[in-house]
Structure 1
């Protein structure tokens, strides 16, 4: 990646974000077979392969996206002199993240989920008003919280050692906060993701560091080894293995974020994605696809669970979710006021 120009790296972030969003849809298309997801439907035909692939995707896709968000934040704030004043910054992020949250939660997620899972008013209040577990929309509040927190501590994390200390403390706050307190407005989740955002900032700041020169396959090999070790230690009951599991989990996510960024940057240079009309439209719709996809998958699972091969079921989940949300996105992007509601520019 050392031969990729600065401009190309920034352009390729569009490719990276789009592919990662597609991986999220793929993950949700398969995670049903991992258990403890969409509990309304019991798994009719088990599949360990789908379960393991889903777990692996979950070890890096959102971490990679938060990494890219930090990478672009550093570019805009440090190199383009953006985000210098707090009020315009928070207004911008509210429009991009919180308005879509309110719109999608109440116009889509709550009503479409309620048809399948009759939750109570208290559950709606806790999950979607206090945002403790708002389905796929947790990502919006988490990212909003991360942006706000990092904006205030930005000067401190310019120092590498302080940045490492803050990252470790943030991870600890997120870990223990979720155990002892309600995850209101996804605040503890946000603290857990701050290290990956800071890592993205640092990679942008030191974009010619030694990591650029590492062969991309090494990222994949090391990440898969760490992931496998994490899964092994997580199954053990002894306290030493539980502690090791935390270390390997954190390491897996860090390597996963780096792997996602560097490998997809490399892939972006090998494929002619900028001249692919469908991919460019997909990149434009990727966030809206993310916002609406999960409930579509609920319905395809309800229709086909146990009636068809689980691998084909997962494929149907993915394709139907993309088709339906692509259609929704194309409609919402046609009008000024609906573009505002999904966080897009007027």
Structure 2
């Protein structure tokens, strides 16, 4: 519920009003994007994580017991089946289709944590990073040149999987966990959920107001405004029970 509460509350009180008054969205768009959660702006990751958490909650023992190659084989079957079924059934409703793809990335994080951030050899690290770079270049070239969307979708988890592995490798090499000792990092991390939940609609507004800038200044100004305002909103909301419920920090519905 700490995923679904923020999705519905932020949609109703924040994202939908912004869609109507800033973007000029129609009620047809509202129903499609938010009620059916087909394209709910930045909130898409909440229903996506909800489905993934359900899968790992009910199948955690199975995932622990079964060899990695078996899990990957099952994922390939599931993902290819999703691509074919998606032609006839709207699996993108409530982010089900995206959830199937992201199962792989969540599983990679699960393996990374289970391995207790074990060190690889320098050669393996280089192989991961180089492979991720080469695959990304190939994927971008195919994206530009190939019109067959099915082929792009088919190889996307492989490419993204290597990107995830590369990010995890870089974080381990540079020991990203050391950032946690910095006060600024702790403050941002503590409020990161709210920052993400509110930032996009602030960008909608600021990008309509602050337009006559050079590209670099345009990005800097709008990033600063979106980050600062969403951070401030989150800090205020975290002071009360309703606010904590809104950003997923509490399941407590008792306000007495």
TM-score range (shorter-chain normalised) is 0.7 to 0.9
Please list, as runs of the form range in 1=range in 2, the aligned pairs for 1:32-111 lying within 5 A after superposition. Answer: 94=1, 96-111=2-17
Q: Residue deviations 1:268-321, cap 9 Å, x none? A: 45x85233212101000011111111111112221233x111222122222111
User: 172, 175, 188: which one pairs with 1:265?
Assistant: 172
**Residues 193 and 238 of structure 1, relative CA distance in 2, 3 Å threshold:** closer
Work out whether 1:333 is the aligned partner of 2:238. yes
State whether residues 136 and 159 of structure 2, in contact with CA within 8 Å, keep that contact through their aligned partners in structure 1. yes
SS at match of 1:186: helix
* TM-score of the superposed pair, with normalisation by structure 2: 0.85
**Residues 304 and 219 of structure 1, relative CA distance in 2, 3 Å threshold:** farther
**Residues 172 and 329 of structure 1, relative CA distance in 2, 3 Å threshold:** same
SS at match of 2:77: helix
State whether residues 210 and 222 of structure 2, in contact with CA within 8 Å, keep that contact through their aligned partners in structure 1. no
For residue 113 of structure 1, report the CA deviation from its aligned partner: 2.1
Once residues 106 and 233 of structure 1 are traced to their aligned partners in structure 2, the CA distance between those partners, rounded to angstroms, is 39
**Residues 226 and 141 of structure 1, relative CA distance in 2, 3 Å threshold:** same
**Residues 261 and 130 of structure 1, relative CA distance in 2, 3 Å threshold:** same
Once residues 174 and 137 of structure 1 are traced to their aligned partners in structure 2, the CA distance between those partners, rounded to angstroms, is 22
For residue 192 of structure 1, report the CA deviation from its aligned partner: 1.2
Work out whether 1:324 is the aligned partner of 2:229. yes
Once residues 156 and 162 of structure 1 are traced to their aligned partners in structure 2, the CA distance between those partners, rounded to angstroms, is 11
Query: More deviation in 322-331 or 255-264?
Result: 255-264
Work out whether 1:254 is the aligned partner of 2:155. no
User: 61, 77, 85: which one pairs with 1:155?
Assistant: 61
Q: What RMSD, in angstroms, separates the aligned Cα atoms of the two structures?
A: 2.5
Match of 1:200 in 2: 109
State whether residues 100 and 343 of structure 1, in contact with CA within 8 Å, keep that contact through their aligned partners in structure 2. yes
Give structure 1 regions of 4+ aligned residues with deviation exceeding 6 angstroms: none
SS at match of 2:200: helix
Please list, as runs of the form range in 1=range in 2, the aligned pairs for 1:162-173 lying within 5 A after superposition. Answer: 162-173=70-81
Match of 1:212 in 2: 120
Q: Which segments of 5 or more consecutive residues in structure 1 lack a partner in the other structure?
A: 1-93
Please list, as runs of the form range in 1=range in 2, the aligned pairs for 1:242-321 lying within 5 A after superposition. Answer: 243=151, 245-246=152-153, 248-269=155-176, 272-305=178-211, 307-321=212-226
For residue 248 of structure 1, report the CA deviation from its aligned partner: 4.7
State whether residues 236 and 242 of structure 1, in contact with CA within 8 Å, keep that contact through their aligned partners in structure 2. no
**Residues 172 and 207 of structure 1, relative CA distance in 2, 3 Å threshold:** farther
Once residues 308 and 177 of structure 1 are traced to their aligned partners in structure 2, the CA distance between those partners, rounded to angstroms, is 46
State whether residues 233 and 242 of structure 1, in contact with CA within 8 Å, keep that contact through their aligned partners in structure 2. no
Match of 2:23 in 1: 117
Once residues 98 and 227 of structure 2 are traced to their aligned partners in structure 1, the CA distance between those partners, rounded to angstroms, is 27
**Residues 284 and 121 of structure 1, relative CA distance in 2, 3 Å threshold:** same
State whether residues 226 and 248 of structure 1, in contact with CA within 8 Å, keep that contact through their aligned partners in structure 2. no
Work out whether 1:226 is the aligned partner of 2:135. yes
Q: Which segments of 5 or more consecutive residues in structure 2 lack a partner in the other structure?
A: none
Query: More deviation in 173-182 or 289-298?
Result: 173-182
State whether residues 199 and 227 of structure 2, in contact with CA within 8 Å, keep that contact through their aligned partners in structure 1. yes
State whether residues 104 and 291 of structure 1, in contact with CA within 8 Å, keep that contact through their aligned partners in structure 2. yes
